Amino acid sequence: MSCTYVIPDIHGRLDLLEDGLAEIVERAAGQVGTIVALGDYVDKGPDSKKVIDRLRAGLRDRWKLICLKGNHDAMMVAALRDESKLRFWLERGGDTALRSYGGDPSDVPSADIEWLDKLPLMHTDTHRLYVHAGVDPDVPLDQQAERTLLWKRYPRDYQFGFGDLHVVHGHDSFVDGPKLYEGRTNLDTRAWRTGRLVIGVFDDEKPGGAIDFIRVIKQPM
């Protein structure tokens, strides 16, 4: 059985990311699959730089890693390219990200900024659409606004996906999550603060929501 494993918002928690990747490999029991990370690798938690280093290093043994862009990743890029946007980012968790690089914007390698900037905004497979925040169900995928993909919050208990595609997203955090609906799955459990990361496991041949979850538990912040 081929599976896709989906990691929601990490926000600088390298410990959760490392343990999550290890748990995925263990769960796969010798099989290989796809890992989709839903963005928001930086800010709030202590290890933004190390999280980026880890993701940029990629995976071994034929695993496929797809890293999507989150709104915090986009904010970091904007702030480091335009000083007028720096305060907005720092006040929303960017202070910890900058500290992980040494504290000065000039300490952030241009390669890291470029990597974040070029991340894709969404990924689709046969049965699902993966995105950081959400999609507008009335707009074709190739016409979706970047702000929607990075910042959208669905109405509470909104059940629908995108046509026949089940939408898998993060961004809108619930400490009692994940939140599971007929047409979408919200995996964001505010892991950076709660210390509880929930990774969705999706059967590539089966439509709909997750067939299982991997739970990683560490110290809360």
Concatenated DSSP letters for 107-129? Answer: GS-HHHHHHHHT--SEEE-SSEE
pLDDT tens readout for residues 118-161: 999 999 999 999 999 999 999 999 999 999 999 999 998 999 99
Instruction: Let me know: does 185 contact 165? Beta carbons within 8 Å.
Output: no
CATH class label, 3-217: alpha beta
What mean pLDDT, rounded, does the chain reach?
97
Prediction pTM value: 0.97
Residue 88 has pLDDT above 90, yes or no: yes
Residue 31 sits at φ, ψ, to 5 deg, of: -80, 160
Reading the block at residue 151, the tokens are: 């910042």
Q: How confident is the model at residue 11 (pLDDT cuts 50, 70, 90)?
A: very high
The predicted structure's pLDDT at residue 20: 98
Q: In this structure, are residues 52 and 115 in contact, taking their beta carbons and an 8 Å threshold?
A: yes
The alpha-helical segments, DSSP class H, found in the chain are 14-28, 48-57, 71-81, 86-89, 95-100, 110-117, 146-151, 191-194
User: If we measure between CA atoms, which residue out of 121, 20, 56 comes closest to residue 48?
Assistant: 56
Beta partners for 180? 185
pLDDT digits (tens, 9 = 90+) for 30-61: 999 999 999 999 999 999 999 999 999 999 88
Higher-confidence residue of 1 and 93: namely 93
Q: What is the DSSP string of 20-45?
A: HHHHHHHHHTT---EEEE-S--SSSS
pLDDT band at residue 2 using 50, 70 and 90 as cut-offs: very high
Q: Taking the CA atoms of the chain, what radius of gyration do you get in angstroms?
A: 16
pLDDT tens digits, residue range 160-215? Answer: 999 999 999 999 999 999 999 999 999 999 999 999 999 999 999 999 999 999 99
- pLDDT at position 117, please? 98
User: Residue 79 pLDDT > 90, yes or no?
Assistant: yes
- Residue 1: pLDDT band (50, 70, 90) is confident
pLDDT bin (cut points 50, 70, 90) of residue 70 is very high
Task: Give the position of tokens 């709030």.
Answer: 44
